[in-house]
Each structure stands twice: as C-alpha cells, then as structure tokens.
Structure 1
Amino acid sequence: MTPRVLHILGQLRTGGAEIRTLQLLRSLGDDARLHTIVTLAGVKGELAPQFEELGVKVVPLRARSVSFFLRFFMLIRNDRFDTVHSHVDRSAGYLLPVAKLAGARTRICHFRSDTSPTGGALDRFRRWVLELGIRWAATNIVAVSPGTLEAAWGSHRPSAKCQVLHNGIDVARYRDAVAADLTADLGVAAGATVLLHIGNGGIRTKNRERAIRLLAGVRQERAGAVLIFVGRDGQDAASGVHNRQELRKLATQNGVEDGVIFAGERGDIPALLKASQCLLMTSTLEGVPGVVLEGLAAGMPVIATRLPGTVYIGREILGLTLVDASESDSSWVNAILAAIDNPQSGARISAAVEGSPFNGERSVHEYRTIWAGVTR
C-alpha cells in the first residue's frame, strides 16, 4: 500500500529544498495526491500553486502560534498519515515527537545543508534538546551527502537510522533542452561568452560578489563576456533593489557594469544553461547544490567551490571543476577559461549524471523506499 506522506517545510518559496521537493513530487505521477505539505511560516508561499496543480494539499500553520502543536497533532491523527518527512533540519526535534505521539509510523529528519553547529551556551542547550527529540522520535535520519550527514549529526549518530538520500535530477529535461535566444530575450550580443550564476541573491553565502570579480578577469581574455544572475535578488522587493544597487556598484568598480545582467526568477533554466558557456557556483555554503547537477545534466562545464557536497558530486560525475574558496580570483579565472576553451563532451557529461546516484529515477526509488518504512 502506498503511504500517505506529510512534508514539513518553512514555506514554499524558491529555494533548494522546495525546488527538489517539487521535482520529486512531479515524478510520482498520481501518487503525488497522497502527499501533503505543512508550511511553518503561516503562509503557503509563491510555489504553492505548482504543488497544488499536482494534487498536493498545502496547509499553512504558524509555528509560533499557541495552537500550533495541537493543530499539527490533529492534522496527522485525523488524516492518518503513515509518514512525516521533516525538511527543516534540527527543528525536526520538536516536530517529530508530535508525529510519533500522533501515530505516524515513519518519521524522517532530513538534513540538506553543511552548516556546522555554532553558538553560545543557550544555542548549545537548544541544540541538545532538539537532538534529544530527534533521537527519540526519528525512525530515519537522512542527508544529501555523507559530508552533510557528518556535519549535521556528527560521530554520535546512530548508524542504523542514518543514510544518504540523494537529490535526483531529470537528466532528459536538461540534456534535450533547446538553447534560449539570449539576444532577443536579454540583449546579449551574438557570440558573447556567457557565464551563468543561479541562486537566491538574498542569501549572502551565494557569493554573487565573487562572480562579478571573476567576470572582470574573464573579460581580460574574452572581451564582451557577460554574467547572467538568475534567481531572486533579495528576500523581498526592497532588499532585492538594494542588493542589485550594491552589485552594480561593484561591477562599476571592476569595469564590467555593462556585462552584468539580472534575469530574476526564470522557469526556463534548462534553456538558459544550453545557451551559456559555463555555469559558476561561487557559494561558500551548500549541501548538494542542485544547480550543479542541473548544469552537468545539460552537459555544460561547471566551475564550483570545493565543498563536501560538490566533492561528493565530483566523485560520481565528470565535467565538474572544483576550486577552493581560499584560492585567488585569478585561479578561478584560469579554471573558467580552461573549461570553456577545452570543453569535455556534453553527451558524456550528461550520460555520467544519468548513470550516477543522482539519476532521477534512482532517487525516486530511494524516497519511495524510505517513505514506506523500509530500512537498509
């Protein structure tokens, strides 16, 4: 019998966990109707209509309200959910115990970022309490990579409960995409070298500033090269305006003010990837970045920060060049130019993704198995 699954997310905004969950549920066909999402911010979020089109129910609850725990408990009990899947890291420590008491058979704590525990005495106490809740209530503790699992749960983790749960990618959607017309769409000069940077500009660790400096270096060898930022520019409209202004100042200081394009949120990422020469991922903190998998699935060279998640991808898939965050901008520029001037076969890169654990069908099988309460 296919289980009924309740997912827990902050809200359905454009972000890594939300996009991966949407792609995953799209892969389930009619079974997506057996899934419900609770958002903890008290609002659904702008991606909610796309989930609801799949037949997924979205229930906004405000975690800070006095009635939250009762409403959460009654939702699980009344709708008879078999599985509760928390995507909110250690906050699962106060959510999964409720799910256990409400009768959910399978209770999953999912770590997606490499953030290591920090903070003072109060933070350490809070973390200790949340981890107690996870140990008591979680039937499964999963993460997007071995490094993420180690960073999130450490050496004290109970191995019988823990496993890597891979983010999956629909390779064909990216491999077979038709390149966008960037001249007509964004005014990019025909023949220009295009660097693509995808991510939420409102998150400082996405490090858009470095991408601008790298464009300046690339332009010394490739005149007219452009950098396209894709994704929201801030957490809200006002911060987006402010962030764009600051980045334009930096671009002017580096002499590339005419080469930086803010494309905003787009629904045609595969086509943009196909129209570009290189994907940059300059983040200083990630789990397993889905954007890197998307670029590789499209068969394009990807230059990314060396992080536990990208190292894990690189072990499985060719076409990825990793550079330490501590390396100079010139080292990054050299890596970019080498990847553009000596590209590997796009077909081979896409095929490597398809044969890896990040293949969408394999990933869906992993999720279905864990939702059903089957352990390794």
Structure 2
Amino acid sequence: MKRALHIITGLGVGGAERQLRSLLRRLPLACDVVTLTNAGPVAAELRADGVAVTDLGMTGNRDPGVVPRLARLIRDGHYDLVHTHLYRACVYGRVAARLAGVRTVVATEHSLGAHHIEGRRLTLGARALYLSSERLGVATVAVSATVARRLRAWGVPARRIHVVPNGIEPASFAFDGAARRAVRAGLGLPDGAVVVGGVGRLVPGKGYDKLLRALAELPDDVWLVLAGEGPERARLRALAARLGVAGRVVLAGEWADVPGLLSALDVFVSPSTEETFGLAVLEALAAGLPVLHVTCPAVDELPRQEAPGARRVDPTVPDLTRALRAELALGVRRLPVPEAVRRYDIDRAVARLMTVYEEVRR
C-alpha cells in the first residue's frame, strides 16, 4: 500500500480537521486530501506541509453531482485506500470510492453522539443513510470505546469496528509565557484577569450557554474566552448581553493557534454533554491547565489517577458555578502533564491506524 486519499467534509478549525493534519504528518504513506467544502485554515496548513488538497466546493448538504466528480478524482489518482472523515464525507466518499473501483474504504467516526452528530440532531433518515453507506466500506474507526458502543447499538457489525483513539503532540501544547502575553493582548484581556475558556464549535450540544450563566455568578475579574464558530454565536452574544457579562466575554472565532490560546487561559471548561472523545480536554491537560468537563471519553475511560487535573461536573449551572468557584479559589497555577496525555501520543494513534489499514487490505 503506497497511496491513500483522505476525504473530509470541511477543513475549518475543528477537532477532526486538526486530528487529520496530525496524522498525515506522520503516516508512512503518500496521502492526498479532498475537502467537500470550506477549505479553511487547516487546508492552508496541510498545503504548507506539502499535502495536495482539492476543494470540491459543495454548496449544500445535498449535492449528488459531487459523487461522479469525486469518483473520477479517485480513479485518476490510482489510490490503494480511501479514508473518509465526518458524516457527509463518509456518505459521499464511500459511494464514490466504490464507483471508482476502490474496495478498501475506511471511515473514521469522530462525532457520533447519543442524540447529535456533528452538532446536528440525529434523525431516522440520517441514521438510515449513514448505515446504508457504511456497508460500502470495509471498516469504521471509532475514536473511543464510547463511539464504538454507539456504532454497535446502531447496527454496525462489531467485526467492522476498530477503536483507534485520537492522538495529540504533547510537546506542542507546553505552556509558553510569551504566547500567553501575546494572545491576551491580542484578545484585549485586562492585566490581572482570570480567564476561563473553551475550544469547540458553537452548537447547542456544547453547553456554552450554561457556562455563560455560571460566569454571571463569578467575580468581575473573571473573563470567558470561547474559541470556535457555529450557528449559536449570535444567541450566545445576546445571552451574554442579557446576563450583563458581555464586557467579560470574548468570542474569538476560529482560532488556529490553539496552543497559544491554551497558554493564555487559567481554567479550561468543556460543558458538552455529547463529546465523542474530548481532544480539546487532552490538549488543555497537556498545557498544564486544570480542567472541568461534563463528559470526555478520553479521560472518563481511564483510571482516575491518570488525569488528576481533570474534574468531572454535572451539566447544570449550579454545579458548574460551584466547581468554578472551587477551582478559582485554588489560584492561578499550572499542573504537571498527566499520564493520560502520554497515553494518547499521536505516534500511538498512527501505529494503530496503520494496523487497521494493513488488516483490511489483507
């Protein structure tokens, strides 16, 4: 096996997108990338890494004309394997790969929650389309045991499911004092501010509305920074205004320099109830931040002592507020990098993924 094509729904700044870039920097294969839409910042980073990126320019969720174009691209590239990422890319990519004559089709399921997929509510139609296209591949990679259980419950045969946890590059998230000062200045944060933050798409399942309500119960020197874009942006801004905390909230949008942002924070919070892995939580732990999370399979599936800096909280405003008060009472500090971070080193993820590739090729 020498050549692989990775197909992804978009290349904005998100967990799946950044994970793809990390993998491609280490996979011992010649890999190209196709994005169905949104050739955003991660596309530019991939190109800077020397990866060929093609943007098919889909204009909506339903664009069947993309299938023959994608099939032609796959056929012309003479790829040994096609690997799809995220819902739309999995549906269109599996069909196109089979039309192009490629039978070794692997998909990674990054975002299958209990009730949502990629921030959208699951419907019977979405589930049926997912399952029908899943049969066109040979394997589905689950990023956590939690996702693997959901796939089995949906009806995906256990023999086709392979658990390959996401990986991170721990050293790249080490605390950087200079980056802290630069990012804080760039975001307009005042000297002495205690900064709580989160990284993720602004969608209902992330629970950022509860984090805003908790902020309203905290002292005026506590600020909130949220890095990410999504349909909830306007609603969150309006809620901050109603709560009287708009002056202490920074909606930073898509933020390419996640390590720098984490250096600027003092506490990391993940109030999401439907995380499928929790990549942002791991990155925060690698940056030495204390972390509050509602759900994070990457941590919850490990013994408690492997991530002592991560504390699980209930998805309610009162509990989130109490947990933040308790954390802030301990003062601004950096914690040692826990064993959980080393467990999820990107090199381990690459090795496990290559094992899957070799197995399905056989």
- CA deviations 1:166-221 (Å, max 9, x no partner) are 111110111253351155333323222111122233x23223222211112222xx
Aligned pair 1:369/2:355, yes or no? Answer: yes
Say whether the 8 Å CA contact 1:114–1:147 is kept in structure 2.
Answer: no
Say whether the 8 Å CA contact 1:194–1:278 is kept in structure 2.
Answer: yes
Structure 1 pair 207/68, CA: closer, same or farther in 2 (3 Å)? same
Residue pairs, 1:47-86, within 5 angstroms: 47-61=42-56, 62=58, 64=62, 67-86=65-84
> Which residue among 103, 106, 114 is the counterpart of 2:112?
114
Residue number in structure 2 paired with 1:149 = 148
Q: Which amino acid aligns with 1:262?
A: L
Residue number in structure 1 paired with 2:222 = 225
Residue number in structure 1 paired with 2:301 = 312
Give the fraction of aligned pairs with identical amino acids, expressed as a percent: 31
Structure 1 gap ranges (5+): none
Q: Tell me the distance in 1 between the aligned counterparts of 2:144 and 2:51.
A: 27
Q: Which amino acid aligns with 1:217?
A: E
> Which residue among 323, 327, 332 is the counterpart of 2:320?
332
Residue number in structure 1 paired with 2:264 = 275
Say whether the 8 Å CA contact 1:147–1:309 is kept in structure 2.
Answer: no
- CA deviations 1:82-116 (Å, max 9, x no partner) are 11111133763553254245343521122112334
Residue number in structure 2 paired with 1:172 = 171
Q: Tell me the distance in 2 between the aligned counterparts of 1:184 and 1:117.
A: 39
Say whether the 8 Å CA contact 1:196–1:280 is kept in structure 2.
Answer: yes
Q: Secondary structure at the match of 2:216?
A: helix
Q: Secondary structure at the match of 2:50?
A: coil
Q: Tell me the distance in 1 between the aligned counterparts of 2:170 and 2:133.
A: 38
Q: TM-score, length-normalised on structure 1?
A: 0.81
Structure 1 pair 333/153, CA: closer, same or farther in 2 (3 Å)? same
Structure 1 pair 128/54, CA: closer, same or farther in 2 (3 Å)? same
Shift in Å, 1:269: 2.2
Q: Tell me the distance in 2 between the aligned counterparts of 1:128 and 1:251.
A: 38
Q: Which amino acid aligns with 1:56?
A: V
Q: TM-score, length-normalised on structure 2?
A: 0.84
- CA deviations 1:228-278 (Å, max 9, x no partner) are 12223x45xxx85xx1xx434433433323211233333332233223220
Q: Which amino acid aligns with 1:195?
A: V
Q: Secondary structure at the match of 2:34?
A: strand
Shift in Å, 1:307: 5.5
Structure 1 pair 355/133, CA: closer, same or farther in 2 (3 Å)? same
Q: Which amino acid aligns with 2:106?
A: I
Structure 1 pair 343/128, CA: closer, same or farther in 2 (3 Å)? same
Residue number in structure 2 paired with 1:323 = 313
Q: Which amino acid aligns with 2:168?
A: I
Residue pairs, 1:199-278, within 5 angstroms: 199-201=200-202, 203-219=203-219, 223-232=220-229, 234=230, 243=234, 246-278=235-267
Say whether the 8 Å CA contact 1:97–1:134 is kept in structure 2.
Answer: no
Q: How many residues are matched?
A: 350
> Which residue among 29, 40, 50 is the counterpart of 2:36?
40
Q: Secondary structure at the match of 1:110?
A: strand
